[in-house]
Structure 1
Amino acid sequence: MEVLKDVFGELNGQAITSYTLRNDSGMEFTCIDYGCTITRIMVPDKNGVKENVVLGYDTLEEYLNYSPYFGCIIGRISGRIKNATFTLDDEAFTLAKNENENHLHGGDNGFHNVIWSSSVETKADEANIVFSYTSPDGEEGFPGNLKLQVTYSLNNENEIVISYQGVSDQKTIVNLTNHSYFNLSGNLKRTILAHELTLKSDGFLELDPSFIPTGKVLSVEDTVFDFRKGLQIVQGVNSEHPQIKLVGGGYDHPFLLNANHEQEITLVDYESGRKLEIETDEPCVVLYTGNSLEEGFTIGGVPSEKHLGLCLETQLPPNMINNPNFPSAVLEANEVYSTKTKYAFKLI
């Protein structure tokens, strides 16, 4: 295992550090301490050609000027909270409103815009980058001083594991995720429309016009939301299903997982031969197919366009704090928040 450290840029007089982890088979994984952002994952195709399979930039300025959460950690809460308000023990909390009247992805100054402390741990068959940050009481409206640790691990099995841990001194809510956009074609040669996704999920959450779950779980049976036996993304994008049209022609929906740590999420690009298997502790994954990616800028020299990447955000259901039927995001004072997601890169 090898770890390379470099300066990625400078923000407000503080250097932004880049870490590249390289395993014994040559797979590379690069991240920066700004937002715990994954900038590059280099894996081979069926011919042994190593290429980048995530959307990311080469400069800090590009992340600052335009990045729809490429590769970063989202928090304190991922997804949307309706009307940017919630109640804990009869006390109402008002959050930052950064998407119309709602709260999105932790607010404008969420964890994606934080410079995290970082350190390196290396072992014979594994390398870790450990990121730390304390979110102060009241940040973006959330209660409690929340001490966080996010660890990115790369092993010799071509697996990346993201581990999240946190402790708050007050009762609060927490729901973290990573917002990487995957494209297994390699170096963004094609869109993700021909990618085939398999999900162990019988139900997805209906969205209202603000893309917030209504609380209703819809069956995937006989719909373009049925990924249980595998489905190409293009079949959903071209559908007239009202939920597909609502989010701009594609998916931006939470799926409730039937299983954990049983290859419950699989993404395949048959042309390159690459396969991504995701296993998680979380009860839900949000599938977002880049419906709102705009034109007018480039990503690694490739013009941006709709459906250039897709996100598989493992988490609790969005707006869970305002929906008692969903798994709870409440973290009691001094309780440990802990969850883990593994990304295994393979060939078909």
Structure 2
Amino acid sequence: MKITSEKVLNKWVETTLTNNNGMQVRFLNFGGIITEIIVPNRDGVLENVVLGYRQYEEYEQNPNYFGAIIGRVAGRIQDASFHLDGKRYELENNEETRHLHGGYGGFHQVMWETSPFQTNNQIGVQLSHTSPDGEGGYPGRVNVTVTYTLTNKNEFFIDYQAISDKKTILTLTNHTYFNLTGQQKETVGNHFVNMNSDQFIELNQNLLPTGKLIDVTHTPFDFRKGKRLIEGLKATHPQNITVGHGYDHYFLFNKDAEPSIIVKEDTSGRILEINTDQPGVVMYTGNGLDNQLQLREGMSKKYLGVCFETQGPPASLHQQGLPSILLEANEPYKKQTRFAFHRY
């Protein structure tokens, strides 16, 4: 196992974690952006299974949030505001009237301090950042640590830890787009997804959660026995159409169900298994990707990647009955998501 680093664009450092099987995870200290994950297919051929830009300069803006750490709050916040203990907090309107993924200066746009570590069985890097009180409109000075860990079992762990000196709101995630075909050979339509979720949150025409929980039974959102993503991409269900024909919805996980998600891709024989202690996930099928972006293996296109943004629901700020994203002062925030790669 080894950790290597090199400077890119004379201002960022890209670190590569390599395990004894040849699996690699590559990421920047800017935004914690994961630029490549290289894993074997059924024949042992190592290929990249995530979307990333060909030119590093493109990560400066990164409107699609490729591979980035997202915070302070992942997802959309209605009216770019929320109330906390009777006080209204105004956030940045960075998506029309909405606040999206932490705003213009969100965690996807900051330089993270890095500290590598290695044991007999794992290697990794701890990324640290302090967000000052009031940044982006959020209350509290928040110290955040995100740890990337690679094991010899082809497991990639993301551990999120934070603490705030004031009561605030917080839910962190990672915005990597996966494509298990390898090297972007095809879109993700034929990815077969199993997900332990009985309900998802309805979205309105502005892509904001209404707070209504919809039962997945007899809908394209029922992944409990598994289905190919293409079913939702071609579906006439109003919720698939609302997000541009596909998925961009928050699925609530069934309690104590393990693993949370399994993704299989027949042509490569790759399996991605996702476990998390978050209450749910936003599954986004790249409905907004256009064909103008130069990615590492070719031009972008709609449905070229699928994101599994494990997180708490920001809809809980305005709607009742959903898991909370409130964080009390001096209360540790601690979450983990595991991505394990297998073959069949």
TM-score band by shorter chain is over 0.9
Alignment RMSD: 1.1
d(CA) in 1 for partners of 2:86, 2:4: 49
Matched, 1:310 2:306: yes
Which residue is 1:4 aligned to?
Answer: 4
The alpha carbon displacement at 1:185 in A equals 0.2
Which residue does 1:332 correspond to in 2?
328
* 1:347 maps to 2:343: yes
In the other structure, the counterpart of 1:193 is: 189
Partner of 2:210: 214
Report the Cα distance in structure 2 between the residues aligned to 1:22 and 1:302, rounded to whole angstroms: 24
Contact 1:260-1:279 within 8 A present in 2 as well: no
CA deviation profile, 1:191-240 (whole Å, cap 9, x unmatched) = 00011111000011100111111011000001110000111010111110
Structure 2 unpaired stretches of 5+: none
Q: Which residue number corresponds to residue 50 of structure 2?
A: 54
Aligned to 2:76: 80
Maintained 8 Å contact 2:54/2:294: no
Q: 1:339 to 1:43 in 2, by over 3 A?
A: same
CA distance in 2, matches of 1:191, 1:246: 20
2:196 touches 2:257 (CA, 8 Å); kept in 1?
no
SS in 2 for 1:193: helix
In the TM superposition, residue 65 of structure 1 has moved relative to its aligned partner by 4.5
CA distance in 1, matches of 2:13, 2:54: 13
Name the structure 2 match of 1:126.
122
Counterpart secondary structure, 2:94:
coil
User: Which residue in 1 is equivalent to 2:107?
Assistant: 111
Q: Which residue of 2 aligns with 1:23?
A: 19
SS at match of 2:232: helix
Deviates more, 1:54-63 or 1:148-157: 54-63
Structure 2: distance between partners of 1:301 and 1:66: 17
1:93–1:41 CA distance, 2 compared to 1 (3 A): same
Letter in 1 for 2:326: V
CA contact (8 A) 2:71 2:108 kept: yes
**1:247 alignment partner AA:** V
- In the alignment, the residues of structure 1 paired with residue 308 and residue 146 of structure 2 have an alpha-carbon distance, to the nearest angstrom, of 18
Rounded Cα–Cα distance in structure 2 between residues aligned with 1:141 and 1:167? 17
**AA aligned opposite 1:249:** H
Query: Is residue 265 from structure 1 mapped to residue 267 from structure 2 by the alignment?
Result: no
Segments of structure 1 that go 5 or more residues without pairing to the other structure are none
Residue type of the partner of 2:246?
A: G
Letter in 2 for 1:23: N
Distance in 2, matches of 1:2 and 1:301, equals 25
Are the equivalent residues in 1 in contact too, given 2:132–2:142 (CA < 8 A)?
A: yes
3-state SS of 2:188 partner: coil
Paired residue secondary structure (1:5)? strand
Q: Is the 8 A contact 1:261 1:280 kept in 2?
A: no
**1:201–1:257 contact (8 Å) kept in structure 2:** yes
Aligned equivalent of 1:294: 290
- Between 66-75 and 274-283, report the one with greater CA deviation: 66-75
- In the TM superposition, residue 60 of structure 1 has moved relative to its aligned partner by 2.5
Cα distance, 1:57 vs. partner?
Answer: 2.3
Q: What SS does structure 2 have at the residue aligned with 1:109?
A: coil
Give me the whole-angstrom Cα distance separating, in 2, the residues matched to 1:33 and 1:305.
27
Structure 1 letter corresponding to 2:93: K
Report deviation, 1:124: 1.0
Equivalent residue for 1:63?
59
Per-residue CA shift, 1:292-333, capped at 9, x if unaligned? 001212211411110000000100113221223111111111
- Maintained 8 Å contact 1:22/1:29: yes
1:162 and 2:166 matched: no
Letter in 2 for 1:174: L
Q: How many residues align?
A: 344
TM-score (norm 1): 0.97
CA contact (8 A) 1:192 1:308 kept: yes
Task: State the 1:262 CA deviation.
Answer: 1.2
Counting aligned pairs with the same residue, the percent is 46
Taking the TM superposition and a 5 Å limit, the aligned residue runs for 1:198-277 are 198-260=194-256, 262-277=258-273
After superposing the two structures, state which structure 1 stretch, 49-58 or 78-87, moved more.
Answer: 49-58
Letter in 2 for 1:214: T
Normalised TM-score (structure 2): 0.98
Does the CA-based 8 Å contact 2:54-2:297 persist in structure 1?
Answer: no
The 8 Å contact of residues 148 and 165 in structure 1, kept in 2 or not, is answered as: yes
